[in-house]
Structure 1
């Protein structure tokens, strides 16, 4: 499916995790849904893409955004924006940082446990690695994740993982 561009407005709703969204008409949203897969790549005003699921919000779909995203992109509630939607064809519903992919390519046991996690947990771990731009920090986080998955036989415990990430960061 080809990318589709539309104009819409940034709206606000109250949530502890998400505060803002852009509405996507149901007819347009439906054209991007394939069975249970609602993942899209959403670009707002030619900025950094958001990899997201189309979320139901009343009679429309929505792409949720955090306040930090708006601030970084100098956007506000009520702004009219140009939204380009594309079907997300990435394996995990978001791009994998190159540093983490290299680790995954070298660690069959860690990848086996990683692939047993739910897609949401996989994306959470990819996000943990990708949210830092420094490659050394990404590698430390990725190594800690793989260590944790193997140590815990695939049982993800974020508190333990956070301790390991700190330990791996201190080793650098």
Structure 2
């Protein structure tokens, strides 16, 4: 059974934080889940994303950046709803199908990818996801895997064409 909460009201704290009520956050924290799947609701809009559940100054908090705020259509003064779900992804974020295909076709590159830290893997996945064009996603995934096979591990260099 996947852990989940009911919908609950939230608002933006600071520029991009959302405080998660302790009764909802503790369910995930006590089960050892640091990364969660989140659905956000505002009027007729709904978005889903993955994030880290962090304890900060006595409050559980999730980042809700400007990109998500714009996508959902909320302003810092708005109240909206969150619903939390257990993260069931391998890397803490959904992998684009195009990147999965590259992972399956380039087993050597994938083996180097697997040696990276979880955060670095997520960063590369987010990098590939930001491109809307599927061919660009494939090209960027291939570039990353080729650079990994060359021994490059610096995230800034991994995404550069040599």
Match of 1:159 in 2: 156
Match of 1:70 in 2: 69
Check if 1:3 corresponds to 2:31.
no
Q: Provide structure 1 residue ranges, at least 5 long, that are not aligned to the other structure.
A: 14-18, 168-172
The Cα shift of 1:77 comes to 0.7
RMSD over aligned CA atoms reads: 1.6
Q: Provide structure 2 residue ranges, at least 5 long, that are not aligned to the other structure.
A: none
The Cα shift of 1:5 comes to 2.4
- 8 Å Cα contact 2:13/2:76 also seen in 1: yes
Task: Identify the match of residue 26 of structure 1 among 22, 29, 32.
Answer: 22
Match of 1:146 in 2: 145
Moved more, 3-12 or 37-46: 3-12
Query: Separation in 1 of the partners of 2:76 and 2:8?
Result: 14
Query: Separation in 1 of the partners of 2:131 and 2:11?
Result: 26
- 8 Å Cα contact 2:53/2:61 also seen in 1: yes
Query: Separation in 1 of the partners of 2:36 and 2:99?
Result: 22
Task: Give the 5 Å matches for 1:108-123.
Answer: 108-123=107-122
- Residue deviations 1:106-127 (CA, integer Å, cap 9, x gap): 1111111111111000000111
TM-score (normalised: structure 1): 0.84
- Residue deviations 1:52-78 (CA, integer Å, cap 9, x gap): 110112332111111122122211112
Match of 2:40 in 1: 44
Q: Mark the CA change 1:11 to 1:44 in structure 2 (over 3 Å): closer, same or farther.
A: same
The Cα shift of 1:51 comes to 0.2
Q: Structure 1 runs of 4+ off > 3 angstroms?
A: none
TM-score (normalised: structure 2): 0.89
- 8 Å Cα contact 2:120/2:155 also seen in 1: no
Instruction: Work out the number of aligned pairs and report it.
Output: 157
